């Protein structure tokens, strides 16, 4: 199984920039052999094609991480079942669970704290967008 801790800090900083919407970093991931990071960034932004890509290309734990970040109970249980403790704690911190945030802070895991803050901002904007009547899709 893959974990975010498998990646160099520079790649994680680039992931943060990709999450912020900087396509340059997403393109670099694709060119330099890290399509899973590009897909994870997109999946966190609710891109279902990226989520499917992760599932079909050997990165199911990143697809599940994206769903766990969105507080999907089955995803949270899946991470625990497969003992992916770091990813589980990361997802909890992204959901603003105090104990998980404290875990990262106590270990001074700055790059992950940076990612957690960015992802929390993404979730906040997604929440605002879903409650904005002007941005809702009509069937």
pLDDT tens sequence across 11-39: 999 999 999 999 999 999 999 999 999 99
Q: pTM here?
A: 0.90
pLDDT tens track for 62-114? 999 999 999 999 999 999 999 999 999 999 999 999 999 999 999 999 999 99
| Owner of token pair 């605002």 | 128
Q: Which residue intervals of the chain are DSSP H helices?
A: 9-19, 23-31, 35-44, 48-56, 60-69, 73-81, 85-94, 98-106, 110-131
- For the chain, which residues make up each domain, given as ranges? 4-131
pLDDT tens track for 112-124? 999 999 999 999 8
Within 8 A by CB and 6+ apart from 87, the residues are 3, 4, 61, 64, 65, 68, 79
């Amino acid at each position: 199984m893959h974990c975010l801790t498998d990646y160099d800090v520079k790649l994680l900083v680039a992931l943060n920039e990709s999450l912020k919407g900087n396509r340059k970093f997403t393109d670099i991931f694709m060119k330099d052999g890290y399509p899973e990071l590009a897909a994870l960034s997109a999946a966190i932004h609710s891109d279902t094609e990226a989520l499917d890509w992760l599932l079909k290309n050997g990165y199911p734990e990143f697809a599940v991480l994206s769903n766990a970040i969105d507080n999907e109970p089955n995803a949270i249980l899946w991470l625990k079942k497969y003992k992916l403790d770091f990813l589980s704690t990361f997802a909890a911190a992204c959901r603003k669970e105090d104990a998980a945030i404290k875990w990262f802070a106590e270990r001074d895991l700055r790059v992950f704290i940076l990612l957690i803050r960015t992802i929390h901002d993404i979730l906040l904007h997604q929440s605002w967008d879903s409650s904005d009547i002007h941005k809702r899709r009509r069937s």
